[in-house]
Structure 1
Amino acid sequence: METVIEVPGDRPYDVVVGRDLLAALPRLVAGAAQTAVLYAAPLRAHADRIAALLRDAGIAPLPLEVPDAEAGKTIEVAARCWDELGAARFTRTDAVVAVGGGAVTDLGGFVAACWLRGVPVVHVPTSLLGMVDAAVGGKTGVNTAAGKNLVGAFHPPAGVLCDLSTLDTLPRADLVAGLAEVIKCGFIADPIILERCESGDPTGAHLAELVERAIRVKADVVSGDLRESGRREILNYGHTLAHAIEKVEGYRWRHGDAVSVGLVYAAALAGAAGRLDPASVARHREILTRMGLPVSYRADAFDELLSVMRVDKKARGNKLRFIVLDAIGEPSTLDGPSDDLLRAAYAAVTA
């Protein structure tokens, strides 16, 4: 059973959710003489199957192995990929397929966006985080010394294949980390996600439904705001502190784990500002804890985190800008909160 979710916009595309979906890949890159297949070493066997499938369809595969996880999201790795595309005489009608988690789809999309000012990219996310977040929406990028995802491009994919069968062998810790982005979608737009998480194991019978619900939330938001000039910012709920934690930790923390702490912080900030009721603030910690996600961070790290947050993409001039909730499903912004308020809210994640 497949579910097709359309992402409307100037360059609409479909996100297909189901099992054993690889047979649909060749039609998504139809017209390409060759297709680069970006993957990290742990997914070599999966990438080999994709390469064989493309070869059988008359499309020459160009396998490009990149470092795993955030280590692959650098301008140096992207440059090496571009060198490989140049050596292969990659043209504007050729395509890129990004196979892996969110880091690989971010990198693959960026490589495709920049080569010849844009060639088609198809995402084949193999992690829960990749399926519900990175692969959908057209945001691509790499990390720099200044921070996470500060260099990138908006480049919608030609299609996304979310093959749920790849989650069967995903390490439990990675699966749970991906739930943070799903839960985020519940808080900003779809409370039924929260109810499913509170009523049972979301990695079991409800997993397919939760993936689809989270993708629908993102598809709805990004369809009218590709370049994050307005409503799309709500998808960054919890991410201001999360990105700072990731940088401070040298990207050794899983993104979803950092987002979980960031969600607790954003809720506490809204509560301290008188925007969100205490029960809803507490619900953040309760759900995330129930899922086995972290909800705390080091008490001595605030000053360093604050310095990093000041170069967050949502900042305006010298003012920080946070996505907060006025109620469950009602996101808004909090502009220029005082350092005292930020520090007081941080106490919630040091317990």
Structure 2
Amino acid sequence: MNRPFDVIVIGGGIIGLASAYHLGRRGQRVLILEKKYPGSGSTGRCIGGIRQQFSTPGTIRLMQESVRQFRSMREDFGFSVEYHEGGYLFLAHDPQRLQTFKTILPLQLRLGLKVEILDASTCLKIAPQLNPEGLLGGVFSPEDGQAYPFKVMEGYIQEIKKQKSQVRFFSEVNEIIVEKEAAKGVRTTAGETFHADVILNASGPWAREVARCAGLELPIEPEEHEAFITDRVPPIFATMVVDYRADGCYFYQRSNGQVIGCYSPVPNKPGIHTESSLEFLVEMSKRTLRLVPELAKARVIRHWGGCYSMTPDGSPFIDKTAIKGLFVANGMCGHGFMFAPAIGRYVSEIILNGRYPFDWSEFSMGRDFSRQELMK
């Protein structure tokens, strides 16, 4: 029998690593079990955006805490994670979208975000290379930005190894041991058994399957997405640009000159597939060039597939479950990388103290899904 751990975290992506890091800082002996290698799911395929501009109070507060931690990672880890606040510029090409931005603005300002509604001419001052055709305006926060996901994961793993915790890769959980409606441990496909009275499901796109290992159902649907990155091009603009049209896209230029971006397919494509497609490459190129014609000479050097973990209302589940000691941090809807630092801190407090840091209703397991995130 393996020596008991205080907490077992299922999933070695950014949510699992951040949670283990914060639990370890609080003296917990944590075991992370990852079915493949760190970031092999969604984290290693994301483009690294970080923003506080959301439409619900809980998510805004979550991101304010994440940004606070991203700003200190150079000091915390001892190296740069390439965190940069170049801002997020959300564009409006129709009056309804612009009105949505205006409706959300009072909440964002009340919670302390540095954000403002812009007319089209001001948008072009921030991003002069934008195609102005049909542009009505936008909303901008200079305190949003990006970081390099692999560097952030490296930092967490480095610090976790200094703690009392362990990380085991290529260890797939296929059973959660439940006795008298309480979590007691897990078993892996290799036949190993590990014991702990607290288990955190942080398995990203596989969250639903992992929950079923304990007899629970999670309303999470994996959804296919793709992204691309170009070779280095001369500077265009520092901000992340988000074109909210149904046939829009979003992208930014990294500090090394590469442009990285993606789009959300309409209709959505359910499933866990990481293959890239020619269809995406052609369509993403068209959408990017419509927005910034100056990128016509940029060469795409790589494109790839990944997946989001979607919930009915666009907000994650970060909560305890009906099984004592079993917690979930799943359904990030494409925002797991940016949420992770805050979720790591707050889920550790929920596990250890049983207290929620603020009104947690939009992340609860029992919510009714009537409130939709408007800035997905």
TM-score by shorter chain over 0.5: no
Computing the radius of gyration from Cα coordinates, the structure with the larger value is 2
The structure with the largest strand share of the pair is: 2
TM-score by length of 1: 0.24
The structure with the largest helix share of the pair is: 1
Larger RCO: Structure 1 or Structure 2 (Cα < 8 Å, ≥ 6 residues apart)?
2
